[in-house]
Amino acid sequence: MEKSAKSKKRLQTAKELPLIIAEYYQECHEAKSKGKPVGWMPPMNGAIELFYAMDLQPVFPENWSPVCAAFGLTRQNFEVSEGMGYSRDLCGYLRNIIGYVHGMMGEEGNPLGGLPEPDLMLPPNGGCAPVMKIFQALLRRFPAAKAFKGDIPQVAIENISRYHVDYAVSEMKRLIAFLEEATGRRLDMDRLRETVILSDRACELWDEIMAFRRYIPTPISASEIGIMFVMVTRQGTQIAVDYLTRVRDELKERAEGGTGVIENEKVRLFWDNIPLWYNMGLFNYFEKMGGVVVAETYSAAWSLRLDVSNPLEAIAMKTLISYPLVSCVSIRKRKEMVLKACREYSIDGAILHRNKSCVPITLGQMDIKRELEAQGVPSLIIDADHMDERNFSVAQFQTRADAFMEMLLARKGLL
C-alpha cells in the first residue's frame, strides 16, 4: 500500500523516543535472562504500579501490535492468525498478537528482540470482548504462565459507586496475594506509595502537555503522539516523569514562543478513534492546506489523576476506570468528551475514523457526528483500520480529505 509521507518528528524530545522504546524492551529481555518474573497484562491497569513497586517486569502485548505495525510486520502476523481461522473482521490487535506468538516470536531478527515469554499472565475479566479473547488465547499459548483472573466490574464512569471501588480494592488485595505467592516477593506499601506518586505525576505532566495543544498555533500534532509509549509502559517510574518533563518543557517554550507545527496554521482538526499505526504520517497530510490534527480521543485515556494518599484505592480506581475511559465508554459520555475537546482545542472540523477492526470505539460515531453538526463542527468519516492496512485506501482518503479541507477553509473565508 502506498504510504503517506513519513511522520515528521519536529520535537527534539520526540526524537528520543526510539531509544526509550529500545531501552524498555532491552530491560524486558534482561529481566527474563536474570530470572526477574515477567508478567503480561493489558495497558492502563493498576497492575503496572504493583509490578514496578515489587520489582517485577510488566509487558503489554497490546502495545506490541503498534510496534509490529511500525516495523511493517503485521501482514506476516495476520497471515498466521488468519491461517488459524481468525476472521479478518476481528480486532487488529488480536489478530496481530495471536499471529505473532504463533509465528515469528522467538525467531531470529525480531525487532527490539521481540517479546520475552511470560511467567505471569493477568487476563482482564472486563473491557471489550476482543481484549478478553486475546488473553484467553495467550493463556493457551503459554500454559506454564501463572495466571491471575481478575474480576473487575465493568461500569460506565458516571455510574461508578462506592461499592464498585470497594470491590476493586478487594480484587487488588487478591492480586497482591497472588503476586507474592507466585514470585516469593513481598509488596512494600511505602514503595507502592512512591510508585503511585510517580504515576500520578506522569498523569499531571500528560495533562500539562495536552494543555499546550490548546495554543494557536499548536506546538505538537497527532503525528508525534507516540510519546504516549511512556504512559503505557513506564507509568510509576522516574523514567516516565523525566521524559514527560522534557517534553512539557520543550512544548512550553514552543507554545509561548508562538512556534507552531506549521508556519501558517489555518484549520484545527480533531481525530476520533485509534491512529493508523502503520501510517502515522497520515496526520501530516492536512498540512499542505494549513490543517493540523491538534487533539484526538485516544490521548484522553491518560488524563487520569490518582489519589496518592490512598495508593491501593488509587490503583483499584485506575483499573476500574481503564476500559470505560476508552473502549467501553457510554455513547453519552463519548459525545460529551468529543464536544468538550472540540471546544477546548478550538476545533474547526473532526475526522471520525470508522475503524473496521475496532467496533467498541467506532460504536456511536453517527450519534457523535450528528451532535457535532448540531454544535456547528463539521465532520468527515474515514474508513480505515488501526492495524490492517489492507482495509485502507490512501487515494480514497486523500480525495475525501482534500474536499473536507476545502470546505473548512471556505467556511473560514480562507479560500
Residues that bind ligand SF4 (CB under 6 A): 91, 93, 128, 130-131, 327, 358, 360-361
Contacts of 393 (CB under 8 A, 6+ apart): none
Give the separation between CA 247 and CA 294, rounded to whole angstroms. 16
Query: Minimum CB separation from ligand SF4 for residue 80, in Å?
Result: 18
Q: Which is nearer to ligand SF4, 130 or 349 (CB)?
A: 130
Q: Which is nearer to ligand SF4, 131 or 179 (CB)?
A: 131
3-state secondary structure of 220: coil
Q: Which is nearer to ligand SF4, 237 or 322 (CB)?
A: 322
Listed residue (171, 176, 123) closest to 148, CA to CA: 123
Listed residue (74, 111, 94) closest to 389, CA to CA: 74
Query: Minimum CB separation from ligand SF4 for residue 49, in Å?
Result: 21
Query: Minimum CB separation from ligand SF4 for residue 44, in Å?
Result: 11
Q: Which is nearer to ligand SF4, 54 or 131 (CB)?
A: 131
Give the separation between CA 22 and CA 14, rounded to whole angstroms. 14
Q: Which is nearer to ligand SF4, 41 or 361 (CB)?
A: 361
CA angle 168/171/176 to nearest 5° reads 130
C-alpha cell at 412: 473560514
Query: Minimum CB separation from ligand SF4 for residue 325, in Å?
Result: 11
Query: Minimum CB separation from ligand SF4 for residue 64, in Å?
Result: 13
Q: Which is nearer to ligand SF4, 193 or 335 (CB)?
A: 335
* Side chain identity at residue 42, one-letter code: P
Query: Minimum CB separation from ligand SF4 for residue 349, in Å?
Result: 24
DSSP 327-351: TS--HHHHHHHHHHHHHHTT-SEEE
Under 8 Å between Cβ of 28 and 57: yes
